[in-house]
Amino acid sequence: MSVAYLGLGSNIGDRDVMLAQAIKRLNGHPSVRVTDVSPLYETDPVGYEDQPPFLNMACRIETSLAPEALLAATLTIERELGRERTVRWGPRTIDIDLLLYDNTTLNTKDLTVPHPRLMERAFVLVPLLDILDNNERDWLPGPAEGSVDAAGVRRWTSNNWPVEFGHSES
C-alpha cells in the first residue's frame, strides 16, 4: 500500500457537508482507506477573488492505486459531487488535489507530484502539516516552516466535523 495526502476545498453550498461527502466517497472506494483528516480551515479565495471563502482540509490515505489512477478516482468524485470547471480557481462544490504520493516525484501532462503550488499556498500547507507524519515531512519539496503566510487561514468549527471515516471490521 502507498500513502498519499490529498487537499480538499469547497466554497459552494454546505461546504463542510460537501467535504464530509468527499471523504466518505474516498473511503468508500475499494482501493482507498482514509487514515486521518485535518481540522477544517476557512480561507480567503486565491487567484479569482470574487467568490465566497473556502473551507479547506487535508486527508491522509492508504491506497493500492497508482498516482494516475488515484487522480482519476478523485476527478470522478468531484464530478459526482457536482464539480463544474468553468473559471480557473473559481467557485466549486468540491476540489480534490493530490498533494503527495509516497516520496514520489512525478511530472506528466496530467499530474505533477508533489503538487506544484503546495509550498506557496497556506490553505493547503496549514491543514497538511496538521496531519503529516514526522517521518514523511521529507516528502515535502522544501522546508515548511516560514514558507507561507498563514494570516488568511482560520480554524473553523462545524457540527458535521470531524467526519467518521473508519472502515467497519467484518
Amino acid, single-letter form, for residue 103: N
Residue pointed to by grid coordinates 459526482: 80
Cα separation of 13 and 22, whole Å? 14
- Marked catalytic residue, from 15, 25, 95, 121: 95
Contact 98, 74 (CB under 8 A): yes
| 97 classed as catalytic | yes
- Marked catalytic residue, from 15, 25, 60, 83: 83
- Marked catalytic residue, from 44, 97, 102, 130: 97
| 92 classed as catalytic | yes
- Marked catalytic residue, from 92, 133, 154, 155: 92
Contact 12, 92 (CB under 8 A): yes
Residues noted as catalytic: 83, 92, 95, 97
